[in-house]
Structure formats: structure tokens, C-alpha cells
Amino acid sequence: MKTARQILKEIKEGKITAVQVVEESLKVIKELNPKINAFLEVFEQEALKKAAEIDAKPLDKRGRLAGLPIALKDNILYKGHKATCASKMLENFVAPYSASVVEKLLKEDAIIIGRTNMDEFAMGSSNENFAFGPVKNPHDLTRVPGGSSGGSAAAVASGMVSVALGSDTGGSVRQPAAFCGVCGVKPTYGSVSRYGLVAFASSLDQIAPITLDSRDNAFILNIISEEDKKDSSFTKPFELKEEDIKNLTIGIPTDFLAGLNAEILKALNKAKEAFIKQGLKVKEITLPYAKYSSPCYYILAGSEASSNLARFDGLRYGYTDKTAKDLEETYLKNRAAFGPEVKRRIMTGTYCLGSAHAQDYYLQAQKVRQIIKEDFKKALSEVDIILLPSTPSTAFKLGEKINNILELYLADLYTVPANIAGLPALSVPFGKDKNNLPIGVQLYGNYFEENKLYALAKILEEEK
């Protein structure tokens, strides 16, 4: 499998054309997608046409991504193309405009090759909450790819594309990246515009790249992270630079790792050794409130979702039930088109925001969020980076946890805190378990310090 950098270099040097790159990508998709179900739609003719246009362009007029096929998670809008969020609610919705990140990719001459499958409205960690069939893990077709950006992670891991965009609200990029053995980041909150991303939980959502390695990841994040007045949460762009890692200290939160699966703990220790070998210091730290991140997340994300998803009434766009007699019944029947997990989340949020419960649930969760942030602030004043696993287990079997909601919710245990605190976190594949399934380790850094994460990821990538 070629990285994005290799592909771009070969196109630039004239060793291969953009059309050939797209053809190769389409060939792999045709061969593997019937088994993996990563793509919901492939823009075959359009991608080939765009590639031919790029090939005809003089070298000095081409953008930085000229000829590179990129897949989009199906909650990111691309004008004139469907964006369904893998939901019956938006089955026929055509995007009337493009997301800012898509505009940036197109400006750099990337080729949007298709839209990838996901958990409905990005709610889930197994890609089993779907309207259009589950995604399978390319490493073992009987297992889940993780979620919610499972289609994007599986597409990269199986070599269909070298880059895919996903969105991460509680781990939806990093968790599937870990399950599929690829690299996924959750950038600092406010460093990538969400304009044109279907909103799930606005205080947590970030768009992010999934790639084969950390260098590609930094390269793509650098391109999509650009100031955008259309997203008022935008704070500061990510600027790619070399980082001096000599004096960095890595923190290991021993309390948060209690009870961790032995094989994943072993990988984590191996990562620690690799850092020590490079002369980095390692220090034990505590994160006493980190374990509250998951329950905190399910209250806040549910509450924000109940508000954000109120827009789906099936009137201006989306699913419509023609049997309704009046407006109230129209709402009720149209919104019944949401799948079970989306209904559960909206109802959890509605309940937590209700006047009788807001004090105990929503407001308490907001307060706890601040305490968790303080927890990380304190830890990151003592160390530069926090080392964590990406997931509590490797990829589980399809259907294994579908009836145990709480167990599924805990698949996000180590990814959710980054969203709660707004911190950047990077998942890097590092070794495999006894079933030959990828293990991901995760690096948490301070706000806007993604460069440190990428620099340390290189150490892990070279160690393997």
C-alpha cells in the first residue's frame, strides 16, 4: 500500500498519472467493497474525469494534492452529491453546498472518490447502527471496524484509498483507526472548520483525517486546518513543523489504566520502552476524574444531539411520511425514521435536559466536564504527553456487543476524554494481539501541540 506522499511524488515525477491512480483505487474498491462495505457510493466517472483534467494541467498549476483520491465520511457535505449519514432520514438528501474542508481539498486538486459508511449520524463505535449494512474489519471480516468512521478507516486499511476524512465526537476517528490498524487523529477543538459537517454534538465534534501513517496524517491535517469564518468555534490553524522531542516527558496515568487488557498493556509498555530508548523521560501521573469522561460524554453528547437533530423534521428535506394528517403528526412520523441508536441518544438527551432532570444530569455533566479538564490541565503541566491505549480491547466480533449498550459505550473509554477536554489525541497502530488484530496506542498532548504527537508517533512507527 502506498502512502499519500508516495502517490503524490510519483504523480509529480511523471511515473504514474492521476488517471492511473484513480483506476487503481477503483479496482481495489470493486474487488473489496462487496465484502467490506466501506463505501456507500463511488463517484467513478466523475473521479476519472477530474483525474484526466489534473493530468492535463501543467505541473506548476497543480495543487498540493493533485491526483490524490480521498474518501469522505457520509456526514461531510460535497455539493451535488448525496450525504446520508447512513440514515433512512437522509437517504435521498443531496448536499446544496460543500463543507469547508471539502473546498480546501478540491482547491488542492484532490479527487473525492466516494462517500464512506458510518454509524448512523455518527452515533456508535461498531458500525452496526446502520441503514445500509454493517462495515467489516479488513483484518477479519467477522469483526467490526470500530466506529463511527468505520467505513473511512476500513477504506484506508484495505488500500482502497490512502486518505479518508472522518469525524470524531467521542473517538469516532481514533477508535476505528485503532481497530483497523491505521492512523487517526482528533485535533484540538477549534482547529478544523466543521462548516458542512452534519452536527452531532457541537462542543465535541471535529473533522479529522485517517491515513496509513502519521506523516500523511500531519500533512492532510495541515491542509484542512485553515481559518474559516463559517465556523465560529474556529480558533487557530494547525501549522506543521519539526518538533524537538529531546526533553519531552511522557506521562503514564496508572489509575486510569487499572484493569486494562493484558495484551494492550504489553503494547503500551513496549511503546514506553521505545520512548525511553530515545532518551525521553517517563513519569507516572494520575487522572482521578478521567474515568468519569464516558458517563459525562453520554449526557452531554445526547443533550446536544437532541438539540442538533431537532432540525430533521422531514419538511425542508429528508424522510417524509405521507400518511400524516397534521403538522404534529408529520413531525412524529417523519422522525420515526431515525434508527434505534439515534432514537436512544435523542431521548437520553431530551430526558437529561428536561426541567425535572437538568440539574442532576446536564448541568452536573457540564460541571464535571470542567473538573475533567482541570485534571488534564494539571497532568499536562507535569508532563508533555500522556500515553494511553486507543481502545480497551482490539476489534470485537460483529453482533458481540450489539445487545449490551453499556459495553459498547465503554469502547470509547480512552478516546472520549480528549473530546471532553478539547485536547488533541493521535491513535497510532502499534503491534498486534494473539488473533493478529491491530492494537492502537494513543498520545494526548496539550492544546495545539499536535506536532509533538506526530513527532512521537514516528518513534513508534520506526520501532515496529
Q: How is residue 144 written as a grid cell?
A: 467490526
In angstroms, the CA 223 to CA 165 distance is 12
Could you confirm whether 73 is annotated as catalytic? yes
Q: Are 38 and 155 in contact (CB under 8 A)?
A: yes
Among 71, 161, 198, 299, binds other proteins (CB under 8 A): 299
Could you confirm whether 148 is annotated as catalytic? yes
Spell out the residues 6+ positions from residue 197 whose beta carbon is closer than 8 angstroms to its own.
75, 76, 77, 99, 101, 167, 205, 207
Of residues 64 and 344, the one with the C-beta less far from other proteins: 344
CB of 36 to other proteins, least distance (A): 29
In angstroms, the CA 184 to CA 208 distance is 7
Binding residues for other proteins restricted to 195-214, rule: CB under 8 A: 203
Which residue carries 494520575 as its cell?
Answer: 286
Of residues 68 and 290, the one with the C-beta less far from other proteins: 290
Q: Does 361 bind other proteins (CB under 8 A)?
A: yes
String marking each residue 61-80 x if it binds other proteins according to CB under 8 A? ------------------x-
CB of 422 to other proteins, least distance (A): 5
CB of 270 to other proteins, least distance (A): 33
CB of 295 to other proteins, least distance (A): 4
Of residues 109 and 341, the one with the C-beta less far from other proteins: 341
CB of 352 to other proteins, least distance (A): 8
Hey, what amino acid is at 434?
A: K
Q: Does 295 bind other proteins (CB under 8 A)?
A: yes
Rounding to the nearest 10 degrees, give the CA dihedral for residues 391, 392, 395, 396.
-150
Considering only the stretches 151-159, 264-272, 316-324, 386-394, report the one whose residues sit in contact with other proteins under the rule CB under 8 A. Answer: 316-324
Among 15, 229, 246, 434, binds other proteins (CB under 8 A): 229
Could you confirm whether 303 is annotated as catalytic? no
Q: Does 363 bind other proteins (CB under 8 A)?
A: yes
Which residue carries 466536564 as its cell?
Answer: 369
Element (DSSP H or E) covering residue 71:
strand 69-73
Considering only the stretches 18-26, 226-234, 381-389, 438-446, report the one whose residues sit in contact with other proteins under the rule CB under 8 A. Answer: 226-234
Among 189, 238, 396, 444, binds other proteins (CB under 8 A): 189
CB of 366 to other proteins, least distance (A): 5
DSSP string, 202-222: TTT-EEEEEESSHHHHHHHHH
CB of 229 to other proteins, least distance (A): 7
Backbone angles phi, psi at 431, to 5 degrees: 85, 180
Q: Which of 242, 258, 285, 249 is nearest to 376 (CA)?
A: 285
Neighbours of 373 (CB within 10 A): 16
Give the ranges where 225-363 is alpha helix by DSSP (H). 262-277, 293-308, 327-335, 340-353
Print the SS3 string covering 384-423: CEEEEECCCCCCCECCCCCCCHHHHHHHHCCCHHHHHHCC
Among 61, 246, 325, 434, binds other proteins (CB under 8 A): 325
Residues that bind other proteins (CB under 8 A): 79, 93-94, 96-97, 189-190, 203, 229, 232-233, 235, 289, 292, 295-296, 298-299, 306, 310, 313-318, 320, 324-333, 335-336, 338, 340, 343-344, 346-348, 350-352, 354, 360-361, 363-371, 374, 405-406, 409, 422
Show which residues are catalytic.
73, 148, 172
